[in-house]
Structure 1
Amino acid sequence: MSSGPTAVPVFIADFGTAFEDVARVNSWPDLPRAAGEGAASGVTGGVLRGYFDNGGGYCYLTNTAGKNMQEALTSVEAFDDVTILVPLGLWDGGADTAGETARAVTAHAAAHRAMAILHAGRDHDVRQARDAARAFKLDADQSSHAALYHPWLIPSADGAQPVPPVGAVAGVWCRVDRDRGVWKAPANATVYGARPSQAVTDAGQGEAQPVDVLREFPGQSTLVWGARTLNETDDRWKHIPVRRLADMVERDLQGALNFAAFEPNSQPTWEALRAAADNYLLALWKQGGLQGHTPKEAYFVQIGESVTMTEEDVKAGRIVMKIGLAVVRPGEFIPVTVTMTGTVGQA
Structure 2
Amino acid sequence: MPSYLSPGVYPRETDFSFYVKQISTSSAAMVGVAEKGPINKPTLVTSWEQFLKTFGGYINEGYLAYAARAFFDNGGSVLYVCRVAHYADPTDRNTLSGQKAAAKLVSQMDMYLLNGDPDPLPPQEVYDVFAINEGIWANRLEVQIENVGLSGGTFLLSVIYKGETVERFTDVSSDENATDFVELRVNGVSDYITIHDIWEPVGDTGMGTPRGGTYALSGGENGVVDMADSDYIGDPSQHTGLFAFDEVDALNLLMVPGVTTVPVINAGIGYAESRKDLLFIADAPPMLEPLDVVNFRKGQGTYTHAAFNSSYAALYYPWLEISDPVTAQKKNIPPSGAVAGCCARSDQKTHVWWAPAGIDRGRIFNALTVAYKTSRGERDVLYPEGINTIAVFPDTGINIWGQKTLQSQPSAVDRVNVRRLMMYIEEAISESSRFVVFEPNNPQTWRALGRLINPFLQDIKEKGGLYDYAFQCDEETNTPVVIDRNEMMARVFVKPTKTAEFIELNFILSGTGAVFSELIP
Give me the TM-score of the superposition, normalised by structure 1.
Answer: 0.85
Q: CA deviation at 1:37?
A: 4.1
Mapped contact 1:9–1:83 kept (Cα < 8 A): yes
Identify the match of residue 42 of structure 2 among 19, 22, 27: 22
* Number of the residue aligned with 1:152: 319
Secondary structure of the residue aligned to 1:219 is coil
How does 1:93-112 map onto structure 2 within 5 Å?
98-112=261-275
Shift of 1:138: 5.4
Distance 1:273 1:48, change over 3 A: same
Q: Distance in 1 between matches of 2:58 and 2:398?
A: 28
Residues 42-77 of structure 1: CA deviation (Å, up to 9, x unaligned): 632221111100000111012332344142222201
Aligned to 2:371: 197
Contact 1:31-1:39 within 8 A present in 2 as well = no
Pick from 175, 182, 204: which aligns with 2:352?
182
Q: Call closer, same or farther: CA 1:139–1:152 in 2, change over 3 Å.
A: closer
SS across alignment from 1:50: helix
Structure 2 counterpart of 1:341: none
Deviation at 1:232, TM superposition (A): 2.1
Aligned residue in 2 for 1:120: 284
Secondary structure of the 1:11 match is strand
1:246 and 1:206 mapped to 2: Cα distance?
Answer: 27
Gaps of 5+ in 2: 1-19, 91-229, 236-240, 300-304, 499-521
1:173 aligns with one of 337, 343, 346: 343
- 1:169-197: per-residue Cα shift (whole Å, max 9, x none)? 00000000111111111110210011211
Q: What amino acid is the match of 2:414? A: K
Which residue type is aligned with residue 58 of structure 1?
V
Q: Which amino acid aligns with 1:130?
A: V
Distance 1:187 1:211 in 2: 13
Give the deviation of 1:269 after TM superposition: 1.1
Give the direction of change, closer, same or farther, for the CA distance of 1:124–1:288 in structure 2 (3 Å limit): same
1:304 paired residue number: 474
Distance 1:147 1:9, change over 3 A: same
CA 1:43–1:16: 2 relative to 1, 3 Å: closer
Partners of 1:27 and 1:252 in 2: CA distance: 27
1:221-232 equivalences under 5 Å are 221-232=397-408
2:393 pairs with one of 195, 217, 240: 217
Distance 2:59 2:42 in 1: 14
User: Kindly tell me: are residues 285 and 256 of structure 1, through their superposed partners in 2, closer, same or farther at Cα, counting changes over 3 Å?
Assistant: same
Give the SS at the match of 1:242. Answer: helix
Task: Could you tell me which runs of 5 or more consecutive residues in structure 1 were left unpaired when the two chains were aligned.
Answer: 92-97, 292-297, 330-347
Q: Which residue of 2 aligns with 1:235?
A: 411
C-alpha distance in 2 between matches for 1:304 and 1:156: 60
Query: Which residue matches 2:21?
Result: 2
Alpha-carbon offset, residue 134 of structure 1: 1.9
Structure with the higher helix share, 1 or 2: 1
| Alpha-carbon distance between aligned partners in 2 of 1:129 and 1:46, rounded to the nearest angstrom | 23
User: How many angstroms does 1:257 deviate by?
Assistant: 1.6
Amino acid corresponding to residue 107 of structure 1 in structure 2: G
Relative distance call for 1:313 and 1:36 in structure 2 (3 A) is: farther
Partner of 1:325: 494
CA RMSD of aligned residues (A): 2.0
Q: Name the % identity.
A: 24
Query: Is contact 2:320-2:332 (8 Å) kept?
Result: yes
Q: 1:41 to 1:101 in 2, by over 3 A?
A: closer
Distance 1:36 1:311 in 2: 60
Change over 3 Å in CA distance of 1:45–1:270 after alignment to 2 = same
Residue aligning to 2:247:
78
Instruction: Go from structure 1 to structure 2 and tell me whether the alpha carbon gap of 1:100 and 1:134 turns closer, same or farther (over 3 Å shift).
Output: same
Q: Is 1:12 aligned with 2:31? A: yes
What's the TM-score, normalizing by structure 2? 0.57
CA drift at 1:105: 0.9
Match of 2:76 in 1: 56
What corresponds to 1:344 in structure 2? Answer: none
- 1:226-270 per-residue CA deviation (whole Å, 9 max, x = no partner) reads 011111213222111011101110111111221112211221111
Q: Which residue of 2 aligns with 1:343?
A: none
In structure 2, what residue type is equivalent to 1:129?
V
Equivalenced residue count is 314
Q: Per-residue deviation at 1:278?
A: 0.0
Structure 1 residues 185, 40: CA separation in 2 closer, same or farther (over 3 Å shift)? farther
AA in 1 matched with 2:274: A
Separation of aligned partners in 1, 2:62 and 2:339? 18
> 1:40 and 1:309, CA in 2 relative to 1: closer, same or farther beyond 3 A?
farther
Q: Distance in 1 between matches of 2:265 and 2:67?
A: 18
**Alignment counterpart, residue 246 of structure 1, candidates 412, 418, 422:** 422
1:250-261 alignment runs, 5 A limit:
250-261=426-437
Task: Give the CA deviation at 1:285.
Answer: 1.2
> How far apart are 1:17 and its partner, in Å?
5.6
Amino acid at match of 1:47: A
1:45 and 2:65 correspond: yes
